[in-house]
């Protein structure tokens, strides 16, 4: 095993399905309205919530095992089984608590949304939820658990709905890494007997499995999400390996951005954002200081963003995330146009040249950046051209050059800014860290992120979720580029060397990271076995992060 180093994971997400505007997220990925709304309600219905007044959460080990195995049948058995149990238990109303009432309501609503989306409602038909709820006893098991030889109405409806969503999402950047890197080449599709019994083919199963991995990981309670993260790092840990010294858990405030694009009839997150920050801070208090809770600041809340920041700080938030792909730039400087690869979709080129779409959000940015700089508040930002974009193409709004111009223009040169993903590795900008040519790299987010961290005192970057590090077919380009940047001399005129500012992070629990978290860490451990870069390892894994976090 390679040499082990203490490490800090600077980029994790411990929010659950109850924190997200899943309806809006799915709409942004071209999922039709009723199907998107059904996915939102389905996710809410199976998602647990920690009771921070109690010492323990319900066990979700079955869900953890299904996610780690990445087996679509088991994922269906566990997730749809929760809906089945809710409906079966509905005959005992006196035994249901308010949370169970809410989850039953959402699950039945999801069935009706799915039925409409799939065109299953004939004129004069009763809603499918009523037929499943009242027309005879519902089976205890399902085709996915092997207790039925043919799918019943519930199995069939949920499978077809999730497969329909998977088919749409498979062609989008939601599954970018699943489509472009080679992490599941050895997956045995032949194990999915239940899904084949419903009539799905291999391509449909693959899409459905990705949808379920996303929803299933979010279905755990906050405490169980943190336990899951720790278990994920335990998988494959060396005898002399370390647990994380600290985790940085980052929230995302996306509600207003999606409402501005798709209207306020969207299903909202179950928890309002102030409640989300309170809950994450409550979780952080239980971790003996190991979890740093970061809230979020949203320029779309242009009238009251400061109230949210002050509420978060008063309740323990150590920093805040800002997420430009929701629809704003750090500065809308039209004298500069973000370079976009000719291989990128046309939307990226269009939005690189277009003005920012929401003037009120841009006006808020003018206030937010100097406020954060003046008060020494840590800010975390998404720095790669793809991600959760309210519209495809908005990822170009996070260009590091725009951050440079904003910090200069808005009197925020002292801003504590962390560039999550460090530019990334996507075809939108010549594959960034995975670029095989210097010319391509020099046009990338990654290159401009490096310039930014070298020139400003308090700007750092993380290399989270660059999954090419664990892809045997693409790893070479990443490690070659990383070694070059770590070993070359500090550029003339730069205040810092890149190696003094780069940090480790994972972006857990994004789709391809779950189950591979220790493997991702080990890939960097293996890289730092090279004698030419070994001396940089302590700073990369922990030292630089401690400085950014103010724990040096």
Asked if 340 contacts 348 with a C-beta cutoff of 8 angstroms, the reply is yes
Greatest alpha-carbon span in the chain: 77
Asked if 24 contacts 254 with a C-beta cutoff of 8 angstroms, the reply is yes
E strand residue ranges, 137-278: 247-250
How sure is the predictor about 498, in pLDDT bands with cuts at 50, 70 and 90? very high
Cis amide prior to 344 (ω within 30 degrees): no
Distance separating alpha carbons of residues 34 and 267, to the nearest angstrom:
11
Considering the four listed CATH numbers 3.40.140, 2.40.50, 3.20.20, 2.20.28, the one that applies to the domain covering 221-517 is 3.20.20
The CA angle 432-434-437, to the nearest 5 degrees, is 80
Q: What tokens were used for 500?
A: 């003094």
Write b or e for each residue in 399-409: b if 16 or more Cβ atoms lie within 10 A of its Cβ, otherwise e.
bbbbbbbbbee
The CA angle 517-204-390, to the nearest 5 degrees, is 65
Residue 198 is predicted with a pLDDT of: 79
For residue 95, pLDDT over 90 is answered with no
HEC profile of 286-332: CCCCCEEEEEECCCCCCCCHHHHHHHHHHCCCCEEEECHHHCCCCCC
C-alpha radius of gyration, the chain, whole number: 23
Q: What tokens were used for 14?
A: 């411990």
For residue 129, pLDDT over 90 is answered with yes
* Collapsed DSSP state (helix, strand, coil) of residue 256: helix
CB-based contacts of 208, cutoff 8 Å, min separation 6:
72, 76, 159, 162, 163, 165, 166, 195, 200
Q: What secondary structure letter does DSSP report for 3?
A: P
Query: Which alpha helices (H) appear in 170-221, and where do they start and end?
Result: 176-180, 193-197, 202-218
Residue 179 is predicted with a pLDDT of: 56
Helices H, strands E: what count in the chain? 23, 8
Residue 24 is predicted with a pLDDT of: 96
H or E stretch including 363?
Answer: helix 359-374
Q: What does residue 45 show for φ and ψ, rounded to 5 degrees? A: -70, -25
Residue 178 is predicted with a pLDDT of: 56
Q: What does residue 484 show for φ and ψ, rounded to 5 degrees? A: -60, -45
Which of 22, 73, 71 lies closest to 46, judged by CA?
22
Q: What is the pLDDT of residues 508-536, one digit of tens each?
A: 989 889 999 999 999 999 999 999 999 99
* Collapsed DSSP state (helix, strand, coil) of residue 243: coil
For residue 446, pLDDT over 60 is answered with yes
How far is CA 190 from each of CA 64, 67, 179, 201, 374, rounded to the nearest angstrom? Answer: 22, 17, 20, 10, 58
Distance separating alpha carbons of residues 286 and 293, to the nearest angstrom:
12
* Mean model confidence pLDDT for the chain: 93
> Across the strands, what pairs with 419?
381, 461
Following DSSP, what letter does each residue of 422-455 receive, concatenated? GG---GGGTTGGG-SSHHHHTTSHHHHHHHHHHH
For residue 171, pLDDT over 80 is answered with no
pTM, full prediction: 0.95
Q: What secondary structure letter does DSSP report for 54?
A: S
The CA angle 279-285-290, to the nearest 5 degrees, is 115
Q: Which residue reads 């302590």 in tokens?
A: 538
Residue 137 is predicted with a pLDDT of: 76
How sure is the predictor about 272, in pLDDT bands with cuts at 50, 70 and 90? very high
Residue 56 is predicted with a pLDDT of: 86
For residue 190, pLDDT over 80 is answered with no
For residue 229, pLDDT over 60 is answered with yes
Query: Which tops the pLDDT comparison, 120 or 272?
Result: 272
CB-based contacts of 271, cutoff 8 Å, min separation 6:
18, 19, 279
Q: What is the pLDDT of residues 290-332, one digit of tens each?
A: 999 999 999 999 999 999 999 999 999 999 999 999 999 999 9
Q: What is the pLDDT of residues 323-361, one digit of tens each?
A: 999 999 999 999 999 999 999 999 999 999 999 999 999
Asked if 163 contacts 204 with a C-beta cutoff of 8 angstroms, the reply is yes
Asked if 237 contacts 65 with a C-beta cutoff of 8 angstroms, the reply is no
Q: What tokens were used for 551?
A: 């724990």
Rounded mean pLDDT, 362-368: 98
Distance separating alpha carbons of residues 390 and 260, to the nearest angstrom:
9
Domain residue spans in the chain?
19-217, 221-517
Residue 123 is predicted with a pLDDT of: 62
How sure is the predictor about 188, in pLDDT bands with cuts at 50, 70 and 90? low
Asked if 9 contacts 247 with a C-beta cutoff of 8 angstroms, the reply is yes
Distance separating alpha carbons of residues 404 and 456, to the nearest angstrom:
9
């Amino acid at each position: 095993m390679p040499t082990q180093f203490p490490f800090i994971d600077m980029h994790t997400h411990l929010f659950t399905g109850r924190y997200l505007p899943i309806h809006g997220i799915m709409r942004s990925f071209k999922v039709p309205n009723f199907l998107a709304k059904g996915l939102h309600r389905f996710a809410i219905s199976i998602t647990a919530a920690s009771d921070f007044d109690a010492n323990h959460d319900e066990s979700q080990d079955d869900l953890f095992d299904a996610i780690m195995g990445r087996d679509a049948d088991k994922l269906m058995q566990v997730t749809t089984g929760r809906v089945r149990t809710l409906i079966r238990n509905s005959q005992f109303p006196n035994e249901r608590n308010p949370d169970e009432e809410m989850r039953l309501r959402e699950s039945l609503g999801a069935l009706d949304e799915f039925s409409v989306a799939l065109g299953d409602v004939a004129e004069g038909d009763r809603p499918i939820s009523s037929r499943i709820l009242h027309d005879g006893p519902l089976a205890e098991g399902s085709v996915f658990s092997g207790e039925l030889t043919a799918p019943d109405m519930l199995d069939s409806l949920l499978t077809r709905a999730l497969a329909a969503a998977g088919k749409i999402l498979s062609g989008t950047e939601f599954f970018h890494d699943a489509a472009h890197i080679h992490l599941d080449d050895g997956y045995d599709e032949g194990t999915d007997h239940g899904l084949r019994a419903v009539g799905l083919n291999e391509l449909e199963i693959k899409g459905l499995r990705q949808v379920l991995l996303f929803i299933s990981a979010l279905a755990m309670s906050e405490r169980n999400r943190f336990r899951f993260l720790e278990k994920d790092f335990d998988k494959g840990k060396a005898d002399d390996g370390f647990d994380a010294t600290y985790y940085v858990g980052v929230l995302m405030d996306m509600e207003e951005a999606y409402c501005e694009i798709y209207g306020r009839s969207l299903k909202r997150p179950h928890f309002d954002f102030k409640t989300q920050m309170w809950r994450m801070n409550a979780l952080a208090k239980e971790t003996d200081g190991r979890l740093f809770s970061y809230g979020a600041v949203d320029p779309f809340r242009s009238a009251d963003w400061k109230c949210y920041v002050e509420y978060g700080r008063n309740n323990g938030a150590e920093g805040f995330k800002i997420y430009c792909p929701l629809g704003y730039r750090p500065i809308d400087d039209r004298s500069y146009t973000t370079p976009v690869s000719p291989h990128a979709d046309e939307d990226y080129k269009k939005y690189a040249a277009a003005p920012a779409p929401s003037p009120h959000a841009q006006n808020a940015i003018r206030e937010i950046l100097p406020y954060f700089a003046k008060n020494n508040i840590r800010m975390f930002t998404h720095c790669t051209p793809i991600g959760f974009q309210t519209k495809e193409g908005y990822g170009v709004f996070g260009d590091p050059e725009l951050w440079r111009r904003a910090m200069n223009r808005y009197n925020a040169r002292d801003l504590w800014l962390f560039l999550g993903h460090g530019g990334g590795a996507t075809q939108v900008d010549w594959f960034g860290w995975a670029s095989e040519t210097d010319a391509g790299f020099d046009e990338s987010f990654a290159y401009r992120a490096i310039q930014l961290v070298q020139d400003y005192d308090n700007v750092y970057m993380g290399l989270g979720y660059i999954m090419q590090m664990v892809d045997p077919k693409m790893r070479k380009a990443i490690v070659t580029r990383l070694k070059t940047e770590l070993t070359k001399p500090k550029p003339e005129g730069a205040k810092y060397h890149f190696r003094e500012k780069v940090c480790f992070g994972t972006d857990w629990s994004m789709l391809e990271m779950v189950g591979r978290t220790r493997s991702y860490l080990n890939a960097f451990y293996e890289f730092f076995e090279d004698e030419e870069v070994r001396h940089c390892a302590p700073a990369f894994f922990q030292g630089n992060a401690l400085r950014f976090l103010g724990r040096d």
